[in-house]
A = this chain, B = another copy of it.
Amino acid sequence: MIPNGRPSPGSGANVIRAAHGEYIVTDLERARTFYVDLLGFIETERTPDALYLRGIEERGHHSLVLTLGEQPAAGHLGFRVESDECLERVEHLAITENLPHRWVEPDEEPGQGRALRLQDPFGLPLEFFSSMARAERLLQRFDLHRGAQVMRFDHFNCQLPELQRAYEWYSSRLGFGCSEYTATDPTPDAKEQLWAVWLQRKQNVHDLALMNGIGPRVHHLGFWVADPLSVLRACDVLAAAGYEPNIERGPGRHGISNAFFLYLRDPDGNRIELYANDYLVADPDWEPIRWSLNDPRRATFWGHAAPPSWFDDAALCRSVITGELLPVRAPGLADRPQHVT
Protein backbone atom coordinates (compact mmCIF):
# COMPACT_ATOMS: atom_id res chain seq x y z
CA MET A 1 0.00 0.00 0.00
CA ILE A 2 1.55 3.25 -1.09
CA PRO A 3 0.57 6.25 0.99
CA ASN A 4 -0.90 9.28 -0.67
CA GLY A 5 1.66 11.92 -1.46
CA ARG A 6 -0.47 15.02 -1.21
CA PRO A 7 -2.60 16.74 1.37
CA SER A 8 -6.32 16.51 0.67
CA PRO A 9 -9.41 18.23 2.04
CA GLY A 10 -10.19 15.36 4.39
CA SER A 11 -13.13 16.31 6.51
CA GLY A 12 -12.54 20.00 6.10
CA ALA A 13 -10.42 20.76 9.13
CA ASN A 14 -8.09 22.81 6.93
CA VAL A 15 -5.10 22.20 9.13
CA ILE A 16 -2.44 24.78 8.31
CA ARG A 17 0.36 23.27 10.28
CA ALA A 18 1.63 21.79 13.49
CA ALA A 19 2.01 24.92 15.55
CA HIS A 20 2.87 24.22 19.18
CA GLY A 21 3.40 21.45 21.68
CA GLU A 22 3.04 21.15 25.42
CA TYR A 23 5.28 19.26 27.80
CA ILE A 24 4.70 18.81 31.50
CA VAL A 25 7.75 19.66 33.58
CA THR A 26 8.30 19.35 37.29
CA ASP A 27 10.39 22.49 37.83
CA LEU A 28 9.68 25.59 35.77
CA GLU A 29 12.85 27.43 36.70
CA ARG A 30 15.00 24.48 35.78
CA ALA A 31 13.16 24.16 32.47
CA ARG A 32 13.57 27.88 31.83
CA THR A 33 17.35 27.61 32.20
CA PHE A 34 17.44 24.81 29.66
CA TYR A 35 15.08 26.19 27.05
CA VAL A 36 15.55 29.94 27.38
CA ASP A 37 19.00 30.57 28.78
CA LEU A 38 20.81 27.79 26.95
CA LEU A 39 18.83 26.94 23.83
CA GLY A 40 17.69 30.50 23.23
CA PHE A 41 13.94 30.09 23.07
CA ILE A 42 12.16 33.44 23.54
CA GLU A 43 9.97 33.76 26.60
CA THR A 44 6.64 35.38 25.75
CA GLU A 45 4.80 34.89 29.01
CA ARG A 46 5.23 33.24 32.34
CA THR A 47 2.49 32.32 34.75
CA PRO A 48 2.88 30.55 38.09
CA ASP A 49 2.04 27.32 36.31
CA ALA A 50 3.52 27.57 32.86
CA LEU A 51 6.05 29.06 30.49
CA TYR A 52 5.03 30.16 26.99
CA LEU A 53 7.97 30.17 24.59
CA ARG A 54 8.54 30.84 20.90
CA GLY A 55 11.26 30.68 18.26
CA ILE A 56 13.04 33.69 16.84
CA GLU A 57 11.11 33.92 13.57
CA GLU A 58 7.71 33.33 15.14
CA ARG A 59 5.05 36.01 15.38
CA GLY A 60 2.63 33.98 17.48
CA HIS A 61 2.41 33.96 21.26
CA HIS A 62 3.89 30.50 21.76
CA SER A 63 5.09 27.37 20.06
CA LEU A 64 6.17 25.55 23.20
CA VAL A 65 4.20 25.37 26.42
CA LEU A 66 5.91 24.05 29.53
CA THR A 67 3.36 23.34 32.21
CA LEU A 68 4.16 22.58 35.80
CA GLY A 69 3.00 19.13 36.85
CA GLU A 70 3.83 16.20 39.02
CA GLN A 71 5.47 14.11 36.37
CA PRO A 72 6.83 14.69 32.88
CA ALA A 73 4.37 14.01 30.08
CA ALA A 74 3.01 15.30 26.81
CA GLY A 75 0.21 17.80 27.30
CA HIS A 76 -1.36 18.61 23.95
CA LEU A 77 -0.33 18.82 20.33
CA GLY A 78 -1.52 22.08 18.80
CA PHE A 79 -2.56 22.33 15.16
CA ARG A 80 -3.45 25.66 13.61
CA VAL A 81 -6.47 25.60 11.28
CA GLU A 82 -7.54 28.08 8.65
CA SER A 83 -10.47 29.66 10.47
CA ASP A 84 -12.90 29.32 13.34
CA GLU A 85 -15.39 27.53 11.10
CA CYS A 86 -12.86 24.75 10.75
CA LEU A 87 -13.10 24.20 14.49
CA GLU A 88 -16.78 23.43 14.10
CA ARG A 89 -15.96 20.82 11.51
CA VAL A 90 -13.45 19.24 13.85
CA GLU A 91 -16.07 19.17 16.60
CA HIS A 92 -18.41 17.46 14.18
CA LEU A 93 -15.76 14.87 13.47
CA ALA A 94 -15.24 14.28 17.19
CA ILE A 95 -18.94 13.86 17.80
CA THR A 96 -19.38 11.58 14.80
CA GLU A 97 -16.50 9.34 15.83
CA ASN A 98 -17.29 9.56 19.51
CA LEU A 99 -13.90 10.99 20.39
CA PRO A 100 -13.37 12.57 23.80
CA HIS A 101 -13.27 16.33 23.28
CA ARG A 102 -13.82 19.70 24.92
CA TRP A 103 -13.70 23.37 24.05
CA VAL A 104 -10.91 25.53 25.39
CA GLU A 105 -12.06 29.09 26.00
CA PRO A 106 -10.19 32.07 24.56
CA ASP A 107 -7.14 32.81 26.71
CA GLU A 108 -7.69 29.72 28.80
CA GLU A 109 -4.45 28.90 27.05
CA PRO A 110 -2.85 32.35 27.21
CA GLY A 111 -2.70 34.16 23.88
CA GLN A 112 -4.88 31.64 22.10
CA GLY A 113 -8.43 32.06 20.76
CA ARG A 114 -11.14 29.45 21.15
CA ALA A 115 -9.79 25.95 20.62
CA LEU A 116 -10.97 22.39 20.54
CA ARG A 117 -9.11 19.57 22.20
CA LEU A 118 -9.78 15.96 21.35
CA GLN A 119 -8.22 12.59 21.87
CA ASP A 120 -7.58 10.97 18.54
CA PRO A 121 -8.78 7.34 18.16
CA PHE A 122 -5.34 6.13 19.22
CA GLY A 123 -4.97 8.38 22.23
CA LEU A 124 -2.94 11.37 21.04
CA PRO A 125 -4.07 14.62 22.71
CA LEU A 126 -4.76 17.04 19.85
CA GLU A 127 -5.68 20.69 20.00
CA PHE A 128 -7.07 22.74 17.12
CA PHE A 129 -7.07 26.54 17.13
CA SER A 130 -7.26 29.28 14.53
CA SER A 131 -6.13 32.45 16.22
CA MET A 132 -3.20 33.37 18.40
CA ALA A 133 -2.07 36.69 19.84
CA ARG A 134 0.88 38.38 18.20
CA ALA A 135 4.30 38.63 19.72
CA GLU A 136 7.24 40.62 18.45
CA ARG A 137 9.10 38.77 15.76
CA LEU A 138 12.79 38.78 16.65
CA LEU A 139 14.12 37.32 13.42
CA GLN A 140 16.23 40.38 12.73
CA ARG A 141 17.18 41.09 16.33
CA PHE A 142 20.37 39.13 15.81
CA ASP A 143 21.80 40.84 18.87
CA LEU A 144 19.33 38.84 20.97
CA HIS A 145 19.82 35.42 19.37
CA ARG A 146 21.41 32.78 21.56
CA GLY A 147 22.20 29.11 21.75
CA ALA A 148 20.52 26.95 19.16
CA GLN A 149 18.80 29.93 17.57
CA VAL A 150 15.60 27.94 17.24
CA MET A 151 13.60 29.47 14.41
CA ARG A 152 10.17 27.86 14.71
CA PHE A 153 8.14 24.85 15.64
CA ASP A 154 8.27 22.17 12.99
CA HIS A 155 6.65 18.84 13.87
CA PHE A 156 5.35 16.24 16.30
CA ASN A 157 6.76 12.73 16.34
CA CYS A 158 4.52 10.17 18.01
CA GLN A 159 4.54 6.43 18.62
CA LEU A 160 1.46 4.32 18.11
CA PRO A 161 0.99 0.56 17.89
CA GLU A 162 -1.73 0.82 15.17
CA LEU A 163 0.38 2.47 12.53
CA GLN A 164 -1.60 1.53 9.45
CA ARG A 165 -4.90 2.54 10.91
CA ALA A 166 -3.48 5.74 12.29
CA TYR A 167 -2.08 6.69 8.91
CA GLU A 168 -5.45 6.13 7.32
CA TRP A 169 -7.22 8.23 9.92
CA TYR A 170 -4.87 11.20 9.60
CA SER A 171 -4.95 10.95 5.83
CA SER A 172 -8.72 10.68 5.41
CA ARG A 173 -9.99 12.77 8.32
CA LEU A 174 -7.42 15.52 8.61
CA GLY A 175 -6.14 15.47 5.04
CA PHE A 176 -2.46 14.89 5.69
CA GLY A 177 -0.22 14.00 2.76
CA CYS A 178 2.68 11.60 3.07
CA SER A 179 6.15 12.79 2.11
CA GLU A 180 8.16 9.72 3.13
CA TYR A 181 7.44 6.40 4.79
CA THR A 182 9.08 3.34 6.21
CA ALA A 183 7.79 -0.12 5.41
CA THR A 184 8.71 -3.63 6.37
CA ASP A 185 10.04 -5.74 3.54
CA PRO A 186 7.54 -8.24 2.14
CA THR A 187 8.31 -11.89 2.77
CA PRO A 188 6.65 -15.08 1.55
CA ASP A 189 4.70 -15.03 4.79
CA ALA A 190 3.93 -11.37 5.23
CA LYS A 191 3.04 -8.47 3.03
CA GLU A 192 4.78 -5.15 3.31
CA GLN A 193 3.44 -3.18 6.24
CA LEU A 194 3.69 0.48 7.05
CA TRP A 195 6.11 1.04 9.90
CA ALA A 196 6.29 4.82 10.02
CA VAL A 197 4.93 7.79 8.06
CA TRP A 198 5.97 11.40 7.71
CA LEU A 199 2.84 13.45 7.18
CA GLN A 200 2.54 17.04 6.12
CA ARG A 201 0.13 19.89 5.71
CA LYS A 202 2.56 22.81 5.48
CA GLN A 203 5.06 22.60 2.64
CA ASN A 204 7.96 20.73 4.10
CA VAL A 205 8.59 17.12 5.03
CA HIS A 206 6.28 16.89 8.00
CA ASP A 207 3.99 18.27 10.61
CA LEU A 208 3.40 14.87 12.16
CA ALA A 209 5.48 11.71 12.09
CA LEU A 210 3.92 8.49 13.29
CA MET A 211 6.22 5.65 14.22
CA ASN A 212 5.32 2.10 15.11
CA GLY A 213 5.91 1.55 18.82
CA ILE A 214 4.49 1.45 22.30
CA GLY A 215 1.86 4.13 22.39
CA PRO A 216 0.16 6.46 22.48
CA ARG A 217 3.36 8.32 23.28
CA VAL A 218 5.01 11.50 22.06
CA HIS A 219 8.54 10.70 21.00
CA HIS A 220 9.65 14.27 20.44
CA LEU A 221 8.73 17.81 19.49
CA GLY A 222 10.76 18.98 16.50
CA PHE A 223 12.03 22.54 16.12
CA TRP A 224 13.47 23.93 12.92
CA VAL A 225 16.88 25.58 12.96
CA ALA A 226 18.38 27.40 10.02
CA ASP A 227 21.50 25.32 9.49
CA PRO A 228 23.82 22.67 10.92
CA LEU A 229 25.94 25.32 12.60
CA SER A 230 23.05 26.16 14.90
CA VAL A 231 23.01 22.53 15.94
CA LEU A 232 26.75 22.44 16.64
CA ARG A 233 26.49 25.64 18.63
CA ALA A 234 23.74 24.09 20.71
CA CYS A 235 26.05 21.16 21.49
CA ASP A 236 28.89 23.48 22.47
CA VAL A 237 26.70 25.69 24.64
CA LEU A 238 24.99 22.79 26.39
CA ALA A 239 28.26 20.99 27.06
CA ALA A 240 29.93 24.16 28.32
CA ALA A 241 27.11 24.67 30.80
CA GLY A 242 27.27 21.09 32.07
CA TYR A 243 24.36 19.71 30.06
CA GLU A 244 26.29 17.24 27.91
CA PRO A 245 24.26 14.32 29.33
CA ASN A 246 21.15 15.97 27.91
CA ILE A 247 22.45 15.35 24.38
CA GLU A 248 20.94 11.96 23.63
CA ARG A 249 21.66 11.40 19.96
CA GLY A 250 23.51 13.16 17.21
CA PRO A 251 24.46 15.32 15.56
CA GLY A 252 23.98 13.19 12.48
CA ARG A 253 21.96 13.00 9.32
CA HIS A 254 18.79 11.01 8.75
CA GLY A 255 18.19 9.49 5.35
CA ILE A 256 14.53 10.20 5.86
CA SER A 257 13.84 13.90 5.42
CA ASN A 258 17.55 14.63 4.96
CA ALA A 259 17.45 16.07 8.47
CA PHE A 260 20.63 17.19 10.13
CA PHE A 261 19.43 16.26 13.60
CA LEU A 262 20.15 16.50 17.28
CA TYR A 263 18.00 14.92 20.00
CA LEU A 264 17.99 16.51 23.42
CA ARG A 265 16.35 15.50 26.68
CA ASP A 266 15.19 18.38 28.84
CA PRO A 267 15.87 18.22 32.59
CA ASP A 268 12.62 16.23 32.98
CA GLY A 269 13.52 13.81 30.21
CA ASN A 270 11.11 15.24 27.63
CA ARG A 271 12.70 14.99 24.20
CA ILE A 272 13.07 17.65 21.54
CA GLU A 273 14.74 17.52 18.17
CA LEU A 274 16.72 20.31 16.57
CA TYR A 275 16.16 19.83 12.90
CA ALA A 276 17.74 21.41 9.81
CA ASN A 277 18.14 20.75 6.09
CA ASP A 278 14.77 19.41 5.06
CA TYR A 279 13.16 20.41 1.76
CA LEU A 280 10.12 21.83 0.01
CA VAL A 281 7.13 19.52 -0.57
CA ALA A 282 4.63 21.46 -2.65
CA ASP A 283 4.12 19.91 -6.05
CA PRO A 284 0.88 18.07 -6.84
CA ASP A 285 2.69 15.02 -8.17
CA TRP A 286 4.75 14.35 -5.08
CA GLU A 287 5.33 10.62 -4.67
CA PRO A 288 6.19 9.49 -1.16
CA ILE A 289 9.74 8.23 -0.75
CA ARG A 290 9.83 4.64 0.48
CA TRP A 291 12.48 3.40 2.91
CA SER A 292 12.91 -0.17 4.00
CA LEU A 293 12.83 -0.54 7.77
CA ASN A 294 16.11 -2.38 7.64
CA ASP A 295 17.96 0.04 5.41
CA PRO A 296 20.59 1.43 7.77
CA ARG A 297 20.70 4.72 5.84
CA ARG A 298 17.04 5.35 6.62
CA ALA A 299 17.54 6.55 10.16
CA THR A 300 21.28 7.10 10.08
CA PHE A 301 22.60 8.35 6.78
CA TRP A 302 25.68 8.91 8.90
CA GLY A 303 26.25 9.22 12.62
CA HIS A 304 26.57 7.02 15.66
CA ALA A 305 23.95 4.40 16.40
CA ALA A 306 20.99 5.65 18.42
CA PRO A 307 21.24 4.66 22.09
CA PRO A 308 18.60 2.30 23.50
CA SER A 309 16.93 5.18 25.33
CA TRP A 310 16.03 6.74 21.99
CA PHE A 311 13.93 3.67 21.24
CA ASP A 312 12.72 2.99 24.76
CA ASP A 313 11.72 6.36 26.12
CA ALA A 314 8.87 8.61 25.08
CA ALA A 315 6.38 10.85 26.82
CA LEU A 316 3.08 9.48 28.01
CA CYS A 317 0.00 11.38 26.87
CA ARG A 318 -2.57 13.18 28.95
CA SER A 319 -6.27 12.76 28.62
CA VAL A 320 -7.68 15.95 27.14
CA ILE A 321 -10.62 15.59 29.53
CA THR A 322 -9.12 14.60 32.85
CA GLY A 323 -5.46 15.34 32.41
CA GLU A 324 -4.65 11.84 33.58
CA LEU A 325 -1.95 9.85 31.85
CA LEU A 326 -3.23 7.34 29.34
CA PRO A 327 -2.23 3.68 29.42
CA VAL A 328 -0.09 2.42 26.56
CA ARG A 329 -0.34 -0.55 24.21
CA ALA A 330 2.44 -2.58 22.63
CA PRO A 331 2.76 -2.82 18.86
CA GLY A 332 2.40 -5.98 16.82
CA LEU A 333 5.44 -5.14 14.77
CA ALA A 334 8.93 -4.88 16.22
CA ASP A 335 9.55 -1.39 17.47
CA ARG A 336 13.03 -1.03 16.03
CA PRO A 337 14.90 -2.29 12.99
CA GLN A 338 16.93 -5.48 13.02
CA HIS A 339 20.25 -3.73 12.86
CA VAL A 340 19.73 -2.10 16.25
CA THR A 341 18.36 -5.06 18.11
Instruction: Spell out A's residues near B (CB within 8 Å).
Output: 16-17, 38, 57, 59-60, 80, 82-83, 130-132, 139-144, 151-152, 202-203, 226-229, 232-233, 235-241, 244, 247, 249, 251, 253, 255, 258, 260, 277, 279-280, 282-285, 296-297, 300-305, 307
Choice from B152, B226, B279, B280 contacting A202 with Cβ under 8 Å: B280
Closest to A19 in B: B283
Choice from B130, B151, B229 contacting A279 with Cβ under 8 Å: B151
Contact of A202 with B282 at beta-carbon distance under 8 Å, contacts A227-B226, A297-B244 already known: yes
Choice from B16, B251, B285 contacting A131 with Cβ under 8 Å: B285
Q: Give the Cβ gap from A41 to chain B, nearest Cβ, in Å.
A: 15
Closest to A250 in B: B304
In Å, the complex CA distance between A298 and B130 comes to: 31
Extra contacts, 16 of them, besides A152-B280, A227-B227, A239-B253 (Cβ < 8 A), are: A16-B282, A17-B282, A57-B279, A59-B283, A131-B285, A132-B285, A139-B279, A142-B233, A143-B240, A202-B280, A202-B282, A227-B228, A239-B302, A244-B300, A244-B301, A247-B303
Assess the B226–A229 pair: CB atoms within 8 A.
no
Assess the B244–A302 pair: CB atoms within 8 A.
yes
Q: Give the Cβ gap from A153 to chain B, nearest Cβ, in Å.
A: 10
